[in-house]
Amino acid sequence: MELLTEIAVRKAAHSKIKEVNFDELEFGKYVSDHMLVCDYSVTAPMADNGWDQPMVVPFSNLSLSPAALALHYGQTVFEGMKAFRMQDGRINIFRMERHYERFARSLQRMCMAIPPREIFVDGLVKLIEVDQAWVPDGSDAALYLRPFMYASEAKFGIKIADEYRFVIFTGPVNELFSRPLRVKVETEYVRAAKGGTGAAKCGGNYGGALFPTRLAREMGYDQVLWTDAKENRFIEESGSMNVMFVINDTIITPPLSDSILDGVTRDTLLVLAEEMGYAVAERPVSVEELEEAFEKKTITEAFGAGTAAVVAPIQMIGINGNDYTLPAYGKQSLHETLKRKLHAIRTGREEDKYGWNYIVG
């Protein structure tokens, strides 16, 4: 396909792909040979929109000033996407437009420059074309795509930066979680508050979650279920995932707000669930409702939804010191049915009636 953006390519002298064990992909361990880099400046004599020509270069360390504003004031945003090897050998970037829109919203919330759509889309396409051998072929495998941007301006006074660097790198991965999860409802620490940056995919949201997550793991859990900042009463999301519950044969997920990330996988599963005839409700879910559902045995499934995790079943939920176990899952479980449907669309085994797939080649 013809690219609208002129993208220079400087190939790596040696490929690292032979160092990769594609049969045992550890999430986040391997990085592909190349990355895309594009700089922005308000004042530099570049194109009219302030963006320089993007370049695909060998993956390497970044050089930045110790005074770079991102290091001090948190102007850094990222996206998480995946490309899949289809059954006919072509490569599919899944829901690229939706990811770009979320990236742009996150950047706007953080007062950062927004790369033109052409740089984002054409940059991803060119990078994948150069590193197409890195796209794995397997039911749970994909090429993870990490577009991100940070304030590169060297000035330690707090301000909105005038200079940014946009980068995309990739790496082959399996799904993030290999077994059903044990999660703890968190009622002391919070991930985000109304009016904050919870709906933006910015670095600070994740850094602030590390400590309570570590405490939960020390207690034997894998992740936390975040509750709202005002009352610690309503479930919001879990770790790097949105969360869904099956209660009284209805898929229930907390409604989007400025404290919940607008998950692309969340949206995808809701669309597919309704298409397949399942009852779906986007509404608040209280901690008390979860406890009651366990006591009355009306909750049959719980699972996370996210780009990295895809569909991650939850085995047990800890609530106020009590551990509640979900019924055993099998191939006919609702979340497994949704996951198979999603995989079939992404790999071309079923019709992509929603136009989600962006075929590279």
Domains, in order of start, for the chain: 8-173 (3.30.470.10), 181-346 (3.20.10.10)
Q: Does the structure show a pLDDT above 90 at 195?
A: yes
CA distance 74 to 24: 34
> For 52-75, what is each residue's pLDDT tens digit?
999 999 999 999 999 999 999 999
Query: pLDDT at residue 4 above 80?
Result: no
What average pLDDT does this structure show over 161-184?
A: 94
Cβ(80)–Cβ(307) under 8 Å? yes
pTM of the entire predicted model: 0.95
Q: Mean pLDDT across the stretch 304-312? A: 93
Instruction: Say yes or no to pLDDT of 46 above 80.
Output: no
Contacts of 268 (CB under 8 A, 6+ apart): 95, 342, 356
Pairing of strands 181-186, 223-227: parallel
Share of residues in the chain with pLDDT > 90 (%): 91
Tell me the per-residue pLDDT of 255-303, one tens digit each, with 9 for 90 and over: 999 999 999 999 999 999 999 999 999 999 999 999 999 999 999 999 9
Q: What mean pLDDT is predicted for residues 121-143?
A: 94
Indicate whether 251 pLDDT > 80. yes
User: How far, in Å, are 69, 74, 113, 178 from residue 159 at the CA level?
Assistant: 8, 11, 14, 43
Q: Compute CA distances 187 → 23, 190, 275, whole Å.
A: 39, 7, 35
